[in-house]
Amino acid sequence: MLSVVDWGLRDYRESLAAMRALVGERRAARIPDTLILVEHPPVVTIGVEGDDGAARASGLPVVEVERGGRATYHAPGQLVGYPIVDLAPWDHDVRGFVTEVERAVVASIAPFGVTGGHVSGRRGVWVAGTRKIASVGIAVEGWVTYHGFALNVDLDLAPFDRFHPCGFDGPVMTSLAREVGHSLSVDEVKPHVRRAFERLSHRPLRAAAPAA
């Protein structure tokens, strides 16, 4: 059984501490695989591949983390998903799991008439191969995944221009609202994400009370 935890809008550092605690719980088999859904106040996170200095000079809050990838931006209007998943049933295939997370995000935006896909050598979900709608970066501890994806639903994309998201120029970033041409709420997208991860896990999702 895969649980879904909806944290609503939650501070990034607070969320990071809670997510790390859940990894320990999953490693100890005290909780099932869990998908956290959350939005964050504005913050730039920098993964293990680092940043060229632009993010730190952007004037935005910055947090360095252990996930894969470089720098990206989070803000309300972006749906962030953190799968806390034991990779044993995945034969410890980290790359394969990341690819399946990307496919789940692609499936989540398809009902809105937006076709996403993968670009060789570039992680994340892309539209028409040139516009990045979602970033994906995970970490693994004791074969349990954490961190995850950030899907741009309907947020101000201008802060991406203040650094180099994922090593690219800011204008490469797009959102679901921009692609469909009208406003969307994160709540409209969540059910599609839940269904996509249900298919990914091959297990039904159940709602869980907010944890940690």
Block means of pLDDT (10 residues each) for the chain, 212 residues, are 92 98 97 97 95 89 94 97 94 92 96 94 93 97 97 97 88 96 98 91 54 52
Q: What is this structure's pTM?
A: 0.93
166 is catalytic: yes
Which value, in Å, is the radius of gyration of the alpha carbons in the chain?
A: 16
Alpha carbon of residue 44 to chain centroid = 13
How high is the pLDDT of residue 52?
87
With a CB cutoff of 8 Å and minimum separation 6, the contacts of 23 are 84, 141, 142, 144, 146
How high is the pLDDT of residue 212?
54
What is the token pair recorded at 36? 């956290």
Neighbours of 126 (CB within 10 A): 21
How high is the pLDDT of residue 147?
98
Closest CA to 112 of 18, 188, 20, 204: 188
Q: How far apart are CA 77 and CA 212, in angstroms?
A: 23
How high is the pLDDT of residue 166?
86
What is the token pair recorded at 110? 């398809």
Neighbours of 164 (CB within 10 A): 19
Domains of the chain: 2-208 (3.30.930.10)
Q: Which of 75, 166, 173, 205 is catalytic?
A: 166
> For residue 68, with 0-12 CB atoms within 10 Å meaning exposed, 13-18 middle and 19 or more buried, which class applies?
middle
